[in-house]
Structure formats: C-alpha cells, structure tokens
C-alpha cells in the first residue's frame, strides 16, 4: 500500500493519513523505493538526443540555506538536459564545478552526437560548436533568440518541476563530521525524477 501511494506521487503526510503508518515508517519506505528506482537506471537510459534532436541544457543551484556547521552541505550545482521530443527525456548530474572542462565532459557523455544543443550564453558553453550544432540565447536581452528561435524554456520548466517535487531538506547530501558524503540524498531524488520521466507512460505496468 505504501508503494502504491508513493508511485501515485502522494507526499509523506498524505501517505501517513491514507495508510495509518507513522512518519518514520513512511520516510524509511520511501527512501528505500527512491534508492531502488534510482539504482535501476542503466547508463543507456540517461543518454538523450541524437541526429537533429534538440536538447536544451542548463545548470541550477539546489540546496537549502544553512550557514552553520552541520551534517548537510549548503547547496550543489546540477547540470541537466531535456529533449524537445514527446518523451522529454532528461539527464541530471550533480557537478563539482561549472568549468568548461567539467560541463563539456558531462554533456559529451550524456548527449548523443549530431544533437542540436541550446544553452544560454554562460561562458563555459562557448566552445561547444566543435562537438554539436550549438545555438544560444542571450537572456540579458530576450527569452527567445529572434533569429534562430533558440530558447531554454523547457529545461527551466524542468528545474521548476524538480524543485517543487524535491523539498529543500532532500536537496543536500548527508555528511559525516569530516565532511565526507555518507548518503547521496540529492542524487537519489534526481534519479527518481529521471526514472519517473522515463516511465511516465507505463508507471502502472
């Protein structure tokens, strides 16, 4: 029963009310399910794009405001891409920094050759023409390039959806006293989002 309500998208309080289980039981079971589906994703599930497929790419900061020393990091950068197809397939990767080398390496891993990528004018994206057809939109001037039609509205909408579905307390990773990650909470939730997007048409089969 817990799994049914989690699959339907119910939040913790709703599941507690519907099932009569206590908060800790619901939290533990949801965490198990989220890790299970996240771990089930194969690399091929996360490669997107292809010949003449448009992939919008952007990065966002995720986390919560916490300025004292504790057991959670304050925030993390996540790089993501979404296809402009009916499936709206996505990849989502936590990144250590936003340098050109880091972002390009991840994009070349997850975005298939011959894709058309669209980004904003962030400096780390400037040299991508060597590997992809690369179109940009200057958000200082417009939300959609008037000449090429390039925009990043789909990936920005995806960020809004992710931040709505993942509460702030789950946008960080659990650390030990030495600052080492002991539970990768954020990546598990990103994996859940990728899994749900992949199975959006067959969640119940």
pLDDT tens by residue, 57-96? 999 998 765 555 544 456 789 999 999 999 999 999 999 9
For the 44-199 domain, the top CATH level (class) is alpha beta
Contact 64, 169 (CB under 8 A): yes
In whole angstroms, give the CA distance from residue 156 to residue 183.
Answer: 27
Q: pTM of the predicted model, to two decimals?
A: 0.83
pLDDT confidence bin for 39, thresholds 50/70/90? confident
pLDDT at residue 13 is higher than 80: yes
147-174 pLDDT, tens digit each: 999 999 999 999 999 998 887 777 766 5
Q: What is the pLDDT of residues 174-204, one digit of tens each?
A: 554 555 554 568 888 899 999 988 887 776 6
The alpha carbon of residue 21 and the mean position of all alpha carbons in its chain are separated, in whole angstroms, by: 30
Note whether 79 and 57 are within 8 A (CB).
Answer: yes
| pLDDT value for 145 | 92
Q: Residue 136 has what pLDDT?
A: 95
Q: Name the residue with tokens 């909470």.
A: 185
pLDDT number for residue 182: 44
Question: How confident is the model at residue 169, as a pLDDT?
Answer: 72
Mean pLDDT of the chain: 86
Q: How far apart are the first and last CA of the chain?
A: 16
pLDDT given at position 183: 55
Predicted pLDDT at 6: 82
Extended strands (E) in 105-161: 111-112, 116-119, 133-136
Q: Which residue has the higher pLDDT, 30 or 101?
A: 101
- Residue 176 is predicted with a pLDDT of 47
Reported as a single tens digit per residue, the pLDDT across 102-139 is 999 999 999 999 999 999 999 999 988 888 999 999 99
**27-43 average pLDDT score:** 85
Closest CA to 82 of 202, 198, 201: 198
Mean pLDDT of 12-25: 89
């Amino acid at each position: 029963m817990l799994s049914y309500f989690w699959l339907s998208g119910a939040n913790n309080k709703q599941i507690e009310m519907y099932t009569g289980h206590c908060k800790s039981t619901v939290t533990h079971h949801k965490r198990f399910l989220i890790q299970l589906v996240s771990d089930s994703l194969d690399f091929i599930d996360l490669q997107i794009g292809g010949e003449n497929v448009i992939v919008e790419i952007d990065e966002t900061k995720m986390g919560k405001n916490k300025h004292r020393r504790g057991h959670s990091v304050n925030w993390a950068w996540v790089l993501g891409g979404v296809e402009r197809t009916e499936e709206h397939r996505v990849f989502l990767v936590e990144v250590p920094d936003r340098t050109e080398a880091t972002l390009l390496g991840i994009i070349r891993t997850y975005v298939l050759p011959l894709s058309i990528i669209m980004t904003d004018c962030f400096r780390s994206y400037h040299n991508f023409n060597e590997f992809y057809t690369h179109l940009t939109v200057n958000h200082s001037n417009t939300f959609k390039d008037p000449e090429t039609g390039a925009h990043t509205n789909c990936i920005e909408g995806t960020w809004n959806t992710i931040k709505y579905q993942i509460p702030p307390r789950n946008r960080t990773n659990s650390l030990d006293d030495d600052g080492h990650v002991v539970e990768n909470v954020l990546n598990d939730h990103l994996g859940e989002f990728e899994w749900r997007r992949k199975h959006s048409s067959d969640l119940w089969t």
